[in-house]
Amino acid sequence: MQATFSWPQRFIYYLLPGLFLFCIAAAQAATGLYTVKSLSGVGSTLGGYVIPRYEVILSAQMPGTVTFIKGGAGTRFVRGEVLAGLDQSVLRAKRLQAVAQYDAALAAWENARAQLAYGFAQNVPPSASGNPFASFGSMFGFNQGFSSLMGQGVNNPYATYESQLTNRRYQAAMAWAKVQASKAAIQEIDTNLQHTLSVAPFDGIVLFKKVNVGDSVQPGMPLLVVASTGQRQIEVKVPDALAEELKVGEALWANLSSQPRAIATTVAVIYPEANPQTHTVTIKLNLPQDIHPRIGSYVQVTFPAYNMPQVPVIPMSALLQGHILPTVLVVKNGTSVIRVLRLGQPLQGGVVQVLAGLHDGEVIVDNPPPGAKAGYLPGGSATASSAEHGR
């Protein structure tokens, strides 16, 4: 005869084993503290992303209204092509005015030059004035006395001639200076006209369009973000210790989601400065000429071990949930603080390498509950203090 159970009996029969297994799992995943340990370093795989070889932000160099845009994101162009333009009507009116001023200055200079030439040709000897003693008096400084005796006053023909000639030279020089100033004004306006146009510095593609036709812009406002369409590169941030081992021209393997197999890349640039917050160095790798992945695509780059010293490892369960970047709670001075990590390659046993952010012997919270924030400690501050003292 088949046994029958009441509802309370059925509840205990079916639910009790599940509760038992749940308690075991909870006990195994209990929150606690973990002291960071180090293992021998192994080759790491770091993530990066594809970047263009050249990326430029085309900004407005003159105030004005946008009258032309080549196109939106994805528009291709060639070197020297106009990609954006501003209204030129005001500048062209100023140029016409400057050209008129240049023509007037040029006519004034030609007139002054003719007057100067006339002054040189108007050289009348002092003897032509009818005073036979003018030259003799000028020679010995008695010109005033002899001129008074002969009824000619105190005027010196040579002094008058030199004064008029000097004045004509001055007028010619001033006229020429106005010609040069007018010419420079035209050149300045022509330069400003060129600044109203944004010209492509290379063959490329538009990444972002920042303005539309009719928008008013000021100098410095971005118009377009463009990138070259030639060779692609990979940008990776590596720990400073690893960067010391890398050499420009060194070959590294990279895995792209769009490629079925690993691709050989070469180190192109190693930045000389490390980030003081993350202690990482930015490097750039050259992709082969025939590989053109989408800009921004995720890439994994494999690095050799380089006989690296031991690196810290932590359990994967210590990572906080719901954070974009790898984050843990570090126990310090009786409380916990959030720290962002740079992770390396996962290892067997559910642990992962820490390339930057932690040191051997530091204490972290393992298996933090969902929503744990800075200041959280499992079991109270006494447990944390004893763990710190026991390091």
Q: Which two tokens stand for residue 344?
A: 């390396």
Tell whether pTM > 0.95: no
Closest-CA residue to 204 (of 188, 226, 235, 236) = 226
Express each pLDDT in 125-156 by its tens digit: 444 444 544 444 444 444 454 444 444 545 67
**3-state class (DSSP) for residue 305:** coil
pLDDT for 348:
58
Could you give the CA distance from residue 15 to residue 11 in angstroms, rounded to a whole number? 6
pLDDT band at 52 (very low <50, low <70, confident <90, very high): very high
**One domain for residues 178 and 241:** no
Residue 21 lies in a domain: no
Residue 389 lies in a domain: yes
pLDDT band at 117 (very low <50, low <70, confident <90, very high): confident
Express each pLDDT in 360-386 by its tens digit: 888 998 888 888 888 888 875 444 444
**One domain for residues 185 and 235:** no
Q: What CATH code is carried by the domain that includes residue 376?
A: 2.40.420.20
What does the pLDDT average to over 19-38?
A: 58
**One domain for residues 101 and 161:** yes
Could you give the CA distance from residue 139 to residue 155 in angstroms, rounded to a whole number? 15
Q: Say if CB 269 and CB 286 are below 8 A apart.
A: no
Residue with tokens 């050209």: 99
Residues pairing with 21 in the sheet: none
Backbone angles phi, psi at 22, to 5 degrees: -65, -40
Residue 2 lies in a domain: no
Residue 188 lies in a domain: yes
Percent of the chain scored above 90 by pLDDT? Answer: 38
| pLDDT exceeds cutoff 50 at 55 | yes
**Other Cβ atoms closer than 10 A to 201:** 14
**One domain for residues 205 and 341:** no
What does the pLDDT average to over 51-72?
A: 94
What does the pLDDT average to over 241-250?
A: 89
pLDDT for 346:
74
**One domain for residues 266 and 209:** no
**One domain for residues 182 and 107:** yes
Closest-CA residue to 231 (of 74, 56, 53, 75) = 53
Closest-CA residue to 367 (of 24, 37, 32) = 32
Q: Chain-centre distance of CA 161, in angstroms?
A: 66
pLDDT for 73:
92
Q: What is the DSSP code string of 20-44?
A: HHHHHHHHHT--EEEE-EEE-----
**One domain for residues 298 and 162:** no
**One domain for residues 108 and 178:** yes
**One domain for residues 154 and 97:** yes
Print the domain residue range for 62. 55-87+196-228
pLDDT band at 182 (very low <50, low <70, confident <90, very high): very high
* Average pLDDT along the chain: 80
pLDDT band at 305 (very low <50, low <70, confident <90, very high): confident
pLDDT band at 354 (very low <50, low <70, confident <90, very high): confident
Q: What CATH code is carried by the domain that includes residue 287?
A: 2.40.30.170
pLDDT band at 349 (very low <50, low <70, confident <90, very high): low
**One domain for residues 353 and 365:** yes
What is the tally of structural domains in the chain?
A: 4
What does the pLDDT average to over 345-359?
A: 78
Could you give the CA distance from residue 366 to residue 376 in angstroms, rounded to a whole number? 12
Higher pLDDT, 126 or 308: 308
Closest-CA residue to 215 (of 206, 207, 223, 224) = 223
Express each pLDDT in 201-218 by its tens digit: 999 999 999 999 999 999
Could you give the CA distance from residue 117 to residue 122 in angstroms, rounded to a whole number? 9
Maximum Cα–Cα distance for the chain, whole Å? Answer: 169
pLDDT for 31:
75
**One domain for residues 131 and 157:** yes
Output b/e per residue, 150-178; b: 16+ Cβ within 10 A: eebeeebbeeeeeeeeeebeebbeebbeb
Residue 23 lies in a domain: no
